[in-house]
Amino acid sequence: MKGATAPPAARPSVHVSIDVPELEAGLRFYGEVFGFVETARPFPTMAILDANNVSVCMHEKAAGSRSSSAGTEQRRYQRHWTPVHLDLHVEDFDAVLHKVRARGGKIEDEFRAQGPRPAAFCSDPFGNGFCVIGEATVAD
């Protein structure tokens, strides 16, 4: 409900988790493309990353492993779609898209004139989708 907010102590702290088949490869991609910095390694298959204004928990999980004991869905690292994804707002849109491609990710769609900001629908080398959002365009 707009305008009705719980006090900060009553709201959860939000972190994002990204599953990858190889932790080191995931750390390289997100570090080289977006500058995420590893701050902790609680155990060998999990790293905590500082992504500027959010913490990312990166987990190494094998392809084919079950997503939970209650579900039947298995992890797969081919391109997949989910309605929950990251929107990464960047200053240099073209430079970031170049890095995505150079580090093994894909640019699936680019929108440069359809809204106030350029946007690209992308995926990492592991099939996880995300959007890159550039700075607001300036009218001539």
Beta-carbon neighbour count of residue 76 at 10 Å? Answer: 13
Phi-psi region of 33 (alpha: psi -120 to 50; beta: other; left: phi over 0): alpha
Q: Can you tell me the distance from the alpha carbon of 109 to that of 88, in angstroms, rounded to the nearest whole number?
A: 15
What pLDDT, in 10s, does the model give residues 6-23? Answer: 677 788 888 999 999 999
Q: List, for residues 61-117, the tens digit of each pLDDT value.
A: 999 998 888 988 888 888 887 788 899 999 999 999 999 999 999 999 999 988 889
Q: What is the DSSP letter of 138?
A: P
pLDDT of residue 72: 86
Q: Which residues contact 109 (CB under 8 A, 6 or more apart)?
A: 120, 121
**DSSP state at residue 58:** E
* Domains annotated on the chain, with CATH: 13-63+76-133 (3.10.180.10)
pLDDT for res 84: 84
Categorize the per-residue pLDDT at 4 as very low, low, confident or very high, splitting at 50, 70 and 90. low
